[in-house]
Each structure stands twice: as structure tokens, then as C-alpha cells.
Amino acid sequence: MLGRMRACVASLLLLMSACDGDPAPVDAGGTDAGVAADAGPPDAGTDAGPEPGAICDELGLSVRAFDATADGAAFQTVAGDFTVRTLDGPWTLSERWSGCESYVFVLHDPGPTGTALYETFPDELFTEGPRNVHYFFGTFEDDAEAARALAEDMRAKVEEGFDFHELGEADRAFWRSRMHYLAEPIREADGSVGALTREDRRVTNAFAITRQQVFDPVGSLSVVASGGFTPRLPMVRFAAPYYDYLHDLDARLGAEEATVISLLDAETIAARTVDRTVTLPDAAAMAAFDALEIDVELTCHLDPAGCSEWDRIAHVDLCEDAACETRRELVRWITPYSRPGRRRWAMDASPLLGLLRGGGERTFRIVFGPSWEEETEREVSVRLRLRDTGATESATGAELAFRGGTFDADYNAGRAPFRFTPPSGTSRVELVVVVSGHGMEADNCAEWCNHVHTFAIGGAEHVVEFPGEAGAPLGCADLAGQGVPPGQWGNWAPRRAGWCPGWPVPVHRFDLTDSVTVGAENELSYRGSYMGGEPRGGMVDLSAYVVTYE
């Protein structure tokens, strides 16, 4: 038990070190850039466990039927059936499919990464992770005796963890039914899992079958601290929440009625910038919509080196002129670090519907990162989703008030107030701000510091800031259930100032109505600051709009 206590303390220090003294964790990708228990549980001789669908009822999750016709054995294909031989007997996917769980494999390999991974403790899987998931612990070792020894050692660690955390008998029984220890080398498994690991060189120390029965490369299981990349088995707990997110988003968008206009439709794109001209409904039809989402879906089918994006700024803009020299940013996201597989986000741009009310032919620019970076081939869909939700009011106008820039001592110099006149009939006025900080030139700003953005109007102030966010060691990993892709091959887990790698940049909205006079000129001021004074480094990407509603 002393060994486990020391390991837990070491694990805690590893996470704390990311913010000790210097608030910036090691950024390996740039910015815009133990003790075995004496015995395991009794071997029941079978890995049947409870009824598969019980967990779905317990958690109130929807059920997806098992596709018995599928025979996929590659990433992004629908997984075929498989059987693995575990310490508790055979386990077959089709027999144990619940319809609401993910199936995550964690693999040892003889190299330093796999060895270091299996030397960590898996406790957070059952103390902090989701319940609708099965974990399979296996190895690339070819020797069956070595495979069984590793499985027995891992089961001992899990059982010791149950004791260390004083889990009750019900929780122990629950997690024993979801922890599976492979008594054979993974490549000898029957069915799709064996075929995948024998044939696909992209398999590393983890992979999964999602709630949608699709193979996904879980990716890297390392965190970054002062010593660099360190494999940690508990990092695999962030995979299942991401698969829940994708399942729920696909289900919602598939069920909603919407007018969909495709800018890109499952096209293979390598370029960093793409312009597309489409025809929107006419003005009369556009007037009926009160909601706009921009649905961005990308899949990289290559290995991590081929999926070469880093944490770069990406966005969809509306072109205001034929040459697209004047643009209005509609949504922004940050690309993930070299993450194979699929990601999807539906980003709300409803406040900017006023820019599109005229309908007709419009041109949009889609930017996936800086033009100078290596091109990444990926399958991309970008869709405008227009809906009438029955809201009592909708956005009718949007004016760009402020942009950001180099976050130094001159950031606020010469920045004039924005003057605007809400037209007669305006029911509400809103300030809409998209802001993210990048770079580490001074004070680890503006990526890892808490910079403050103050907007003032009519004696009222509205502030965007990031206290407690920038540098939080697992701040982005904890958002996997909201769309941050786990397992990125870079320093993806810590939270930044206003953003996460592989996630839409949040939109901040403030109601200005009580501070505004409709039909008269109003004045809005803006100032960026750091620790109460002028900025000292980095770059702030900011778009601030004044939006009117009727």
C-alpha cells in the first residue's frame, strides 16, 4: 500500500507541476501553435457480467442496435464482431453489446512507452471516469505466458485500487464486469480486433469501438509536465465521453428539421484556405429563420504524422466583397494536434444571422490554419443549418465593433470607441465576443495568462476574462464530453486563455439593452489589459459585434 500511496502522490505532483511557478506547461506542439495485490478476485470462469442493457436504463441513455452485418477491421469503419479470451473467460462483442457503451482497449508494448504506461495506476478510470464504458487491457507481446502475466498484474492493480479507495461491494462488482484482462496476445484475438491490430500500423497503445460501433484510434495517453511527455493510463478515461458527445450530436442533428446549405460536402481537402459561393434562400425565406449553426465535420484517415495540424486558428468567414478582402468571422475553432479520426462541432452563429438576411448568392471563406503550414489531407463537410425554433425575436443586424491584434503596450493605443444607432423597432441589443489568446512572448501571454477585456457602455461594464482557466492541467481534457478530441499528439490537455486544441472558441454574449437608446447614437468602448495594466506580449484574436434583435 505504501507503493500505491507514493504513486498517487507522484501522479498528483505530475499534474501540479504544469502550473508550479511558470503557468505555462511545456508546449510540445507550439501555439497557433506498482505494488501487486496478493490475489485477484475469484475467477468465475466466464466474463458474462450483468445484462448488457441494464446500464442504459440506469443512466437513461438511448440504445443503438448492434450491426451484425458489419465486418470492419480498420479505423473509421463499422466494427465487425470479435471474441477475446480474458482471465475470466471468453468475451464476445455481439453477446455483450449494450447499445450505449464504448469499448476501449489499452495495450502494452515492449517499448519504453508501453512499459511506462503499464507502470501507472488505472484508478481514475473507476473513480472519475464515465460508467458506460468497458476497458480491455492487452499487449502486443507475442508470448502467451507474458500476456497472461501482464493481465494478472493489471487486475491486481485494479483490485488494489478498489481497496485503496474503499469502494463498496456494488461498485466493485460493477467495475469488475467492465474491466477485462486479455489472457492472450491481442493479435491472436478472433474477429475484427485481432485483424485490426495485425493489419493497421496506426494502432498504438489504445484504440476503441465507439457507441456507434466505429473503430477509433484513441491516440496518445501522455500528459506534458516539466519532464516532457509522460504516459499515464488514466488519460484513457477521456475517450468514452468524447464518443458520447459524437453520438449525441449526430443524433440531434439527424433528428432536427433544418434548411441545410453545404459549403463542403465530404470533400477531400488538403488546402488551408477554401472559398465557396452558395445561394441562400431569398430574403423573405431568410426572415423566417431565428437560428444558425455552422456544422463542421472533419476526418483524417492518415497516421498522426500525416494528420499534421497543430493547435492553429481556424474559422468560417463571410466575404463582404468579391475579392474577399473584407470578411466577417462567423465561427472560430482551434485545430487539434495531429489527431487521426473524426471530429464534429455544431457552432452557434445565430447572433450573426443579421449579416445574411438579404439571402441570395454569398461567398464564404473557410480557413483551416495558416497557409505556411504543411497541408493536411482530410475529409471535410461544412454546412450552414438554418432553423425556425419559434423564438420570440431574432437577430436582424450585426456590426463589427472591434478586432484584436498584437497584445503589447500599443494594443489600446488609438482605439476609438464604436458608435452605433439601433434602428427603430429594435427589441434588444447584444454584445457578442469571440476571443482567444495566443503566443508566449512575455508573461506566457496571451495563451497561458489571464488577460482581461472590458467593454463599457452607458456606465455599465461587461468583462471577458479567464481566471483559473489558463494553465489548468486537465482543463481541456475535462471537456472531452463537450467536443475536445482526446488523445491528441501534443500538449492538448491543459486549458488555454479562451480556448482548447480541437474545440470551438466559446462565444461570450452580453445584453446591452438597458444601456442603449434605440434610435439614437450610442458609444461602446473597449480595452484589453493584463494584471490591471497594459498588455506585455502575445496576440489576441478578437471579434466583437453589436447585434440588434427584433
pLDDT in the model for residue 47: 61
pLDDT in the model for residue 110: 86
Residue 402 pairs with which residues in a beta bridge? 544
Q: Is the pLDDT of residue 11 over 60?
A: no
Q: Is the pLDDT of residue 66 over 70?
A: yes
CA pair distance 298, 138, nearest whole angstrom: 30
pLDDT in the model for residue 13: 42
pLDDT in the model for residue 51: 80
Give CA 268 to chain center in angstroms: 22
pLDDT in the model for residue 200: 85
Q: Is the pLDDT of residue 243 over 80?
A: yes
Average pLDDT value for residue range 229-236:
95
Taking only the tens place, the pLDDT of each residue in 374-416 is 888 999 999 999 999 999 999 999 999 999 999 999 999 999 9
Average pLDDT value for residue range 201-217:
94
DSSP assigned state of 78? B
- In 10 A of CB 512, how many CB atoms? 22
CA pair distance 293, 249, nearest whole angstrom: 12
Average pLDDT value for residue range 354-373:
95
pLDDT in the model for residue 48: 59
pLDDT in the model for residue 28: 39
pLDDT in the model for residue 309: 83
CA pair distance 319, 305, nearest whole angstrom: 33
Average pLDDT value for residue range 205-221:
97
pLDDT in the model for residue 476: 98
pLDDT band at 32 (very low <50, low <70, confident <90, very high): very low
Q: What is the dihedral of CA 52, 218, 507, 290, to 10 degrees?
A: -50
Question: Which residues, at least 6 apart from 138, have a Cβ–Cβ distance to it below 8 Å?
Answer: 84, 105, 106, 107, 108, 147, 151, 182, 185, 186, 189
Question: Which residues, at least 6 apart from 403, have a Cβ–Cβ distance to it below 8 Å?
Answer: 542, 543, 544
Average pLDDT value for residue range 137-159:
96
Percentage of residues of the chain with pLDDT beyond 70: 91
pLDDT band at 174 (very low <50, low <70, confident <90, very high): very high
Taking only the tens place, the pLDDT of each residue in 109-129 is 988 889 999 999 999 999 999
φ, ψ of residue 442 to 5 degrees: the values are -150, 140
Q: Is the pLDDT of residue 27 over 60?
A: no
pLDDT in the model for residue 19: 37
Comparison of pLDDT for 354 and 200, the residue scoring more: 354
pLDDT in the model for residue 202: 84
Q: Which residue, among 93, 52, 60, has the nearest Cα to 210 in the 3D structure? A: 93
Q: Which residue, among 282, 29, 35, has the nearest Cα to 153 in the 3D structure? A: 35
Q: Are 26 and 491 in contact (CB under 8 A)?
A: yes
pLDDT in the model for residue 76: 95
At residue 163, the 3 state secondary structure works out as helix
Comparison of pLDDT for 4 and 478, the residue scoring more: 478
Q: Which residue, among 105, 104, 95, has the nearest Cα to 50 in the 3D structure? A: 95
- In 10 A of CB 29, how many CB atoms? 20
pLDDT in the model for residue 50: 67
Give the pairing type, strands 215-216 and 222-225: unpaired
Longest dimension (CA), the chain: 81
Q: Which residue, among 366, 376, 355, 448, has the nearest Cα to 31 in the 3D structure? A: 448
Half-sphere exposure of 398 (CA within 13 A, CB side): 24
CA pair distance 77, 91, nearest whole angstrom: 21
Q: Is the pLDDT of residue 24 over 60?
A: no
In sign, the C-alpha dihedral spanning 479, 483, 484, 486 is positive
- In 10 A of CB 491, how many CB atoms? 27
Q: Is the pLDDT of residue 29 over 60?
A: no
Average pLDDT value for residue range 14-19:
42
Q: Is the pLDDT of residue 329 over 50?
A: yes
Taking only the tens place, the pLDDT of each residue in 467-487 is 999 889 999 999 999 999 999
Number of H helices, E strands in the chain: 10, 29
Q: Which residue, among 39, 25, 45, has the nearest Cα to 85 in the 3D structure? A: 45
pLDDT in the model for residue 49: 60
**Residue 337 Cα distances to 94, 215, 305, angstroms:** 34, 20, 10
Whether omega before 446 lies within 30 degrees of 0, making that bond cis, reads yes
pLDDT band at 46 (very low <50, low <70, confident <90, very high): low
Please return the burial class of 45, using the count of CB atoms within 10 Å of its CB with bins 0-12, 13-18 and 19+. Answer: exposed
pLDDT band at 334 (very low <50, low <70, confident <90, very high): very high
From 255-259, 302-306, 497-501, the region with the lowest mean pLDDT: 302-306
DSSP labels, 202-270: T--SEEEE-TTSBEE-----EEEETTEEEE-GGGGGGHHHHHHHHHHHHHHHHHS--EEEEEEEEEEE-
Comparison of pLDDT for 22 and 301, the residue scoring more: 301
Average pLDDT value for residue range 255-263:
98
pLDDT in the model for residue 294: 98
